[in-house]
Amino acid sequence: MSNHAIRDGGRLSAWRAAWVIARRDFTAILFSRSFIFFLLGPLFPVVVMGLAGGVGAQVQSEASVADVGIAMQTQDVDAMLAAHSELAMQVPGSVPPMVALKRLAPGETFDARSVLEEGEGSLAAIVTGTLDAPVLTATEGRVARWQGTIGLIAAHAADQQTRIYPPVGTEIVGTSGAAENSGRLRTAQGGQVLLFLLIMLLASMVLSNLVEEKGNKIIEVLAAAIPMDAVFMGKLFAMLGVSVVGIAVWGSTGAAILYAGGQSLSDFANPGVGWPMFFVLFALYFAMGYLLLGSIFLAVGSLAATVREVQTLSMPATMFQILVFFFASLAVTDRGGVIEYTAMAFPLSSPFAMVARAAAEESLWPHLLALGWQALWVAIFIKGGASLFRRRVMQSGPRGAKKRSLFQRLGRATG
Amino acid sequence: MDMATSDFSPAHNMTRPLAIEARGLVKRFDNTLAVDGVDISIPEGAIYGILGPNGAGKTTTIRMLLGIIDPDEGYRRVLGSDNPQDVARRLGYLPEERGLYPSMKSYEAIAFMGALRGVPLPEGRARAKVLLENHGLGHAIDKQIRQLSKGMAQTVQLLGTLVHEPKLVVFDEPFSGLDAINQGKLEVLIRGLADKGTTVIFSTHVIAHAERLCEGIAIIAGGKVPFAGRVDEARDRIPAQVRLETRNSDGPWRAAMPQDARRVGDFWNFPLPESGVEPLLKALIEGEAGILSLSIERAGLHDAFVAIAGEAAARDMVTQAPGEPA
């Protein structure tokens, strides 16, 4: 007997007890047949979305406006555009779209960096200089990708017979302005949607798990042996563990689809905090969002006596969470405004708002603050849910709550 | 406890420390008084029964004693601790509503219940296999709970209650759902636990089990404890029953008969008068009853229970305010 884990011959510590519950739930779910369907379920829409996305991407690439702007003297601009058109026909898809940004007078200079950083639309790079010495200003990734292509176009524009490529000067910018912002906005929205779908899926699963527990009538055995908080925590963390397995499978599949499609993360707008940190924060906000909603669903489960009642009660909770999601989505468009700050402060919308912020902003300290704030609310929700459960469920006999209607119980619980 | 005449109080058990001591336990659910001032004292190593009709408050009392729910008033001390949860490692509990995970194997279910009480999983598995073998369920070790009969599953849960070798075991209606053979086995198991010094408390509304097993009982009716004490004390709460057969059907002796005497066939049945057997015999003889047979039987626990619980229920009905939930 490992006496160190047992306080003075007494009960297990809350964490140890939660571990016992989590371990059982985790293995029970993982080795159940239904887990295969849990894993496969989201893959069907992903495959459909992947196929639809492939078609959409093709359409978008056909319809997209120029990405590379040219700011050279008039004759050089015309020569570049002509060479671009010719090469685009010879090697379609290999040269980026190109537009004349400004035709410069002799001696006139052009500040490509500031135009890019403050620019509009999808302008991603600017070519300045001359045909013999073009200068490409863009983000590091795009410079690496387009430097050779610009040299080829410039060489072609200078002399169609030439086999000597001019050296392409480069100037790296940290951002491409509005184009980057627009990309980040898409990343933020995508992150929010993914977060919402994952959380809703898992929160409803944890609810089903609790209802099953009540159906098995084992809950009283648990309540007699360990603190109810530990039961709640164990159940929540077991499902979190299951979700980690699920996300690993889904993430690997998604990465495989991206790889097969010849895409990489560098093709998407770089989140404010960078991709690695964005993934870390996404995982943390997913955990917090799930724990918050999961604890609410567990509390809902404690009020319900039957599966039908669970469905009745969880519907308003689900609808409320959808409203919260919409609110957080609205916050994306109000960066630095009252809505964004409110969404970040309200516990249930905070994970969504902060994921969006991770996509849009570089600073990390607000995330530390938000994670601490959310963790506090997770603790409050779990404590409240456990207390509600203990008060509402552990009644027996004809005098107990079982004989009262659902609405009477709701009234009592909230009153 | 205003209504109890005696209990397993420390005065009764000077040499035995108390496993459970509860005073004035009150529990309300919303506006309903489920338990109203329960006092119980149970010495270590005793087999103790909590008797009462359905809905009397037995389960709520047990839940308060085990710390599953907290009382609104009163206090309880379990194995020397004011907070039963702090001695959970030494408690075993079989709830009335049995529950196990259907997909778990028998030995895993027992080991899991041990893990909840601090037994490491590998050790719990080893203990579970021994327990199952010892209780004739060796063939079911690797079977899932859903594959077992109801009685077997109930035995598995019972063994899960004992896997951590608790000092105090509480069974809520342990005999319900068991056939006669398994009820007998359970009685043997309970006696065996007590022989090892384990305190066993069980609730039941089948009085025969309590009469055979218990050293002490508490009768709960209407959320109150009208009696707590030794089984023989409960039996003494109602007078012994006289069974009389006479040669003469009428005569002066009839004046000696109590008013509530009932004639069933050739026999008269009535409670022994408070004055005792000697004045009764004298009156019958002098009144020329022609006594053919006369027996005096001490009341059984069943009769005592019905009388005590029935009185309490009747008192409840009288004192209950109009509109108050029953």
Residue A7 lies in a domain: no
Q: Are residues A220 and A343 in the same domain?
A: yes
| Window from A75-89, B50-64, B168-182, B298-312 with minimum mean pLDDT | B298-312
The chain B residue lying nearest A9, using CA atoms, is B89
Mean pLDDT, rounded, of chain A: 77
Q: Are residues A349 and A391 in the same domain?
A: yes
Considering only CB atoms, B102 lies closest to which of A9, A17, A216, namely: A216
Inspect the interface and report whether the beta carbons of A399 and B98 lie closer than 8 Å.
no
Q: Are residues A99 and A229 in the same domain?
A: no
Beta strands A125-129 and A68-73, pairing class: parallel
Residue A259 has pLDDT above 70, yes or no: yes
Residue A61 has pLDDT above 50, yes or no: no
Residue B273 has pLDDT above 50, yes or no: yes
Residue A82 has pLDDT above 70, yes or no: yes
CA pair distance A394, B223, nearest whole angstrom = 16
| Window from A174-183, A289-298, A305-314 with minimum mean pLDDT | A174-183
Considering only CB atoms, A224 lies closest to which of B60, B68, B86, namely: B68
The percentage of chain B sitting over the pLDDT mark of 90, rounded to a whole number, equals 45
Whole-prediction pTM value?
A: 0.70
Residue type, B199: T
Q: Are residues A305 and A353 in the same domain?
A: yes
Alpha helices in A133-274 (DSSP H): 140-158, 178-216, 219-225, 228-260
Q: Are residues A278 and A390 in the same domain?
A: yes
Residue B68 has pLDDT above 90, yes or no: no
Residue A292 lies in a domain: yes
DSSP calls for B187-226: HHHHHHHHHTT-EEEEEES-HHHHHHH-SEEEEEETTEEE
Q: Are residues A265 and A169 in the same domain?
A: no
B103/A contact by beta carbon, under 8 A: yes
pLDDT for res A36: 83
pLDDT single digits (tens) B194-242 = 999 999 999 987 888 998 999 999 999 888 898 888 988 888 888 888 9
Residue A66 has pLDDT above 70, yes or no: no
Q: Which residue has the tokens 């100037």?
A: A171
Inspect the interface and report whether the beta carbons of A218 and B81 lie closer than 8 Å.
no
Residue A411 lies in a domain: no
- Cα-trace Rg, chain B: 24
Residue A140 lies in a domain: yes
| Window from A9-23, A32-46, A328-342 with minimum mean pLDDT | A32-46
Residue B10 has pLDDT above 70, yes or no: no
CA pair distance B39, B243, nearest whole angstrom = 37
- Chain B window 145-184: which residues touch A at a Cβ cutoff of 8 Å? 157, 160
Q: Are residues A169 and A233 in the same domain?
A: no
Q: Which residues of B touch A20 (CB under 8 A)?
A: 112, 115-116
Inspect the interface and report whether the beta carbons of A397 and B68 lie closer than 8 Å.
no
pLDDT for res B308: 84
Is residue A410 very low, low, confident or very high in pLDDT (cuts 50, 70, 90)? Answer: very low
- A298 versus A127: which is more confidently predicted? A127
Residue A81 lies in a domain: yes
The percentage of chain A sitting over the pLDDT mark of 70, rounded to a whole number, equals 76
Considering only CB atoms, A224 lies closest to which of B66, B98, B123, namely: B66
Final residue belonging to a domain, choices A131, A152, A175: A175
Do B88 and B256 touch, CB atoms closer than 8 A?
no
Inspect the interface and report whether the beta carbons of A396 and B32 lie closer than 8 Å.
no
Q: Are residues A280 and A383 in the same domain?
A: yes
| Window from A159-168, A233-242, B310-319 with minimum mean pLDDT | B310-319
Residue A415 lies in a domain: no
Residue A270 has pLDDT above 60, yes or no: yes
Tell me the torsion sign for CA atoms A272, A275, A279, A281. negative
Q: Which residues of B touch A395 (CB under 8 A)?
A: 29, 34, 60
Considering only CB atoms, A217 lies closest to which of B86, B99, B118, namely: B99
Final residue belonging to a domain, choices A158, A175, A192: A175
Residue A254 has pLDDT above 80, yes or no: no
Collapsing DSSP to helix, strand or coil, B125 comes out as: helix
* Average pLDDT rounded to a whole number, residues A359-382: 88
Residue B14 has pLDDT above 80, yes or no: no
Domain residue limits at A132: 66-175
Residue A2 has pLDDT above 50, yes or no: no
For residue A23, give how far its alpha carbon lies from the nearest alpha carbon of chain B (Å): 10
Reduced DSSP (H G I as helix, E B as strand, rest coil) percent helix, strand, coil of chain B, to 5: 40, 25, 35
Residue A178 has pLDDT above 70, yes or no: no
Residue A1 lies in a domain: no
Is residue B179 very low, low, confident or very high in pLDDT (cuts 50, 70, 90)? Answer: confident
Question: Residue B317: is it exposed, middle or buried by C-beta count within 10 angstroms (0-12/13-18/19+)?
Answer: exposed
Tell me the torsion sign for CA atoms A20, A22, A23, A29. positive
Do A103 and A109 touch, CB atoms closer than 8 A?
no
pLDDT for res A402: 44
CA pair distance A187, A358, nearest whole angstrom = 10
Final residue belonging to a domain, choices A175, A200, A228: A175
Structure tokens at B60: 């709520």
Inspect the interface and report whether the beta carbons of B68 and A221 lie closer than 8 Å.
no
Q: Give the H/E segment covering residue A299.
A: helix A275-303
Residue A326 lies in a domain: yes
Q: Are residues A221 and A272 in the same domain?
A: yes
How many domains does chain A divide into? 2
Buried b (16+ CB within 10 A) or exposed e, A75-96: ebbebbbebbeebbeeeeeebb
For residue A10, give how far its alpha carbon lies from the nearest alpha carbon of chain B (Å): 4
For residue A410, give how far its alpha carbon lies from the nearest alpha carbon of chain B (Å): 12
Q: Which residues of A touch B122 (CB under 8 A)?
A: none
Inspect the interface and report whether the beta carbons of B113 and A225 lie closer than 8 Å.
yes
Mutate to test the interface with A, among B30, B62, B167, B176 (most CBs of A within 10 A): B30
Q: Are residues A195 and A334 in the same domain?
A: yes
pLDDT for res B3: 39
Residue A215 has pLDDT above 80, yes or no: no
What angle do helix axes B106-116 and B150-162 make, rounded to 10 degrees? 30
CA pair distance A159, A325, nearest whole angstrom = 57
Q: Are residues A266 and A340 in the same domain?
A: yes
pLDDT single digits (tens) B134-157 = 998 999 999 999 999 888 898 999
Alpha helices in A304-364 (DSSP H): 307-332, 338-345, 350-360
Q: Are residues A218 and A158 in the same domain?
A: no
Q: Which residues of A touch B86 (CB under 8 A)?
A: 7-8, 10-11
Tell me the torsion sign for CA atoms B216, B219, B223, B224. negative
